[in-house]
Amino acid sequence: MKIPREIPSMRRTDNSLKEVMTNLCSQKNFRRIFLNQAIPVLSLFANQSTMVLLYFIYNADTNNVIFCTYEDIMQDCAIVNKRTVANTIKTLQETRAIAKISKSHYMLNPALMLQGNNEKFGLLANTFNDYITLYEKEKNHVSE
């Protein structure tokens, strides 16, 4: 029997958030999960922020793109506070779990989930990193 290990935290010792890295994936990091079975089970124990992440995972298309508005997320996840959705999306962007493409389009980091092979992972990782670069440039341009 395997002894369960503690789930690693996304927080560093200084309480800052770690980033999800697309370049740290290898063949042995992949696991098979059946989302139509796992998401409903996970949602039984999820808080509202986790429900938003599960929403992105469940609704990502084959290119890891999610088309949704805050209102879609609020309705489907039974969240009444728009601020909860906004803060969660901001945190998911800061940790590079998602990248914002446009107002209602997001891309899920392929290091979190992928439908495809290694070649597709490479293509999606490059696309994801391009969106991250664009986001960083816009963020730096606004702060100047």
Q: What is the per-residue pLDDT across 47-65, written as a single tens digit (0 to 9) for each?
A: 999 999 999 999 999 999 9
* Contacting residues for 23 by C-beta, under 8 A, at least 6 apart: 125
Backbone angles phi, psi at 17, to 5 degrees: -90, 140
pTM over 0.85: no
Q: How many CB atoms lie within 10 A of CB 62?
A: 10
Give the angle 27-123-93 at the CA atoms, nearest 5°: 90
107 in Cβ contact with 128 (< 8 Å): yes
Q: Where are the domains of the chain?
A: 34-143
Q: What is the per-residue pLDDT for 25? A: 60
Which CATH class for the 34-143 domain? mainly alpha
Of 38-47, 60-69, 86-95, 134-143, least confident by mean pLDDT is 134-143
User: How many Å apart are CA 114 and CA 77, to the nearest integer?
Assistant: 22
Alpha-carbon span 139 to 118, nearest angstrom: 31
22 vs 61 pLDDT, higher one: 61
Sort strands 105-108 and 98-102 into parallel, antiparallel or unpaired.
antiparallel
pLDDT tens by residue, 76-134: 999 999 999 999 999 999 999 999 999 899 999 998 998 888 888 889 999 999 999 98
